[in-house]
Amino acid sequence: MSRTRWLLPFLACTRALYGQDQSDLPRLKARADSLAREWRRANAVANAIDSLERTRALAGRDTIRVGALTIVTNPSPLPLREAAGRAWPVIDSVYGDDARQLAHRPYAIVAVDPDTTVERPPRHSGIEVPWDQGVASLTQLLLSSVPVAPADTALQSWLGGPLRPLADPDAQWARVYIELVTAPSHASRRCLIGDIGGCRDALDLAEHGDALLRWYPSPPERQAVVLKSSAYFDRGAQLATLQTCAHGSDSACTRLLRSLPPGGLPRPLTYDARATLIHVALQRGGRAAYHRLVTSAGLSIADRLALTGPVTVDSLLSLWRARILAARPAPGALPPLGIWIALGWAALFAACGLWSSRWRGN
């Protein structure tokens, strides 16, 4: 029932009191009082209907609470309590004091028959999960869909997605190591050998300068980035330029990369690299760290990370780099292609260094 259906005539009537002759006031006042009574009755009925709908929606539901983590679900064999027990310490370590909001922002999980031939009842909200899922997969689900209020656009844009707990931290740290080794970027290579300025560049924390030249200063790097993104350029008027770039024209490669829209230049490192850096800051900063991070919108990302720490951003980068080196995969775990890519880039940068030294000597 619409509450405004009664409110609007009431407001119109009371407003009309000011435009009528004084002799009409008693009649209009009586009419206004009548509408006010109808409004109160309609409001009471609407409240009763809302209450009944909430009760019906929650009927037959289970509520699971572990810490502030709250799950509303239908009865099923899903081991949600065990998964919540694993997920909550991780969530609490990331969001700190702000994790308390989960007490009022529950997960809504709808357990369904894994047999896809069985017709499923209609639902209005919630995450559908087959009820044969195990604890590990449910834990991953809870960590990847934490129902906290989203961070601001600037932070998510820099990060490359929403901020979530590390669902598989060992694997993510190892992937970042492989990225640093294999990325076609001089910035990532500088970071790997200990140049913190290179880490700033590779993670897009530098506030000044040309990103293209900071990330990909050499012609081979620019060509590698273009060819890796060739599907984007392989059409229309850019096709001829792409072919020229593929044949070694650095001006063509540069022209293609500069034609990308703002924010479209591929960054040297992926979401995992930036997410692990944020988690270093959150772990270093204590229970109020996440709150400082999300309430500092307007500052640069580097300043926000330093405030989250709270240490200098270079200190955070040093800690982050040390964690990456410690997560180096065993030699057998590195993909063969990755090893050859790493050796190729090492040879390229060595050659560039020798060429640069000879040029300066002349």
pLDDT, tens digit (0-9, with 9 covering 90-100), for 18-42: 444 455 556 656 676 676 667 667 6
Same domain, 164 and 72: no
pLDDT of amino acid 335: 54
**pLDDT confidence tier of residue 346, bands split at 50, 70 and 90:** very low
Task: Give me the residue label for tokens 């964690």.
Answer: 323
pLDDT of amino acid 209: 83
Query: Is there a domain that residue 176 lies in?
Result: yes
Question: Which of 40, 57, 74 is at the close of a domain?
Answer: 57
Question: Which of 121, 149, 177 is at the close of a domain?
Answer: 149
CA distances to 191, 216, 239, 342 from 177, rounded to whole Å, are 11, 19, 34, 11
pLDDT tens for each residue of 279-293: 999 999 999 999 999
Query: Is there a domain that residue 321 lies in?
Result: yes
Length of the chain: 362
pLDDT of amino acid 167: 86
Query: Is there a domain that residue 261 lies in?
Result: no
Q: What is the pTM of this model?
A: 0.72
Same domain, 205 and 292: yes
Query: Is there a domain that residue 323 lies in?
Result: yes
Among 196-200, 204-208, 320-324, 349-353, whose mean pLDDT is lowest?
A: 349-353
Name the DSSP class of 297: B
For residues 238-276, one letter each, b for 16 or more C-beta atoms within 10 angstroms of the residue's C-beta and e for the rest, the string is: beebbeebeeeeeebbbebbeeeeeeebbbbbeebbbbb
Among 140-154, 205-219, 332-346, whose mean pLDDT is lowest?
A: 332-346
Q: Residue 291: enclosing H or E segment and its boundaries?
A: helix 289-294
| 161 torsion bin: left (phi>0), alpha (psi -120 to 50), beta (else) | left
Domain that holds residue 86: 62-149
pLDDT of amino acid 93: 94
Structural Rg of the chain based on CA atoms: 30
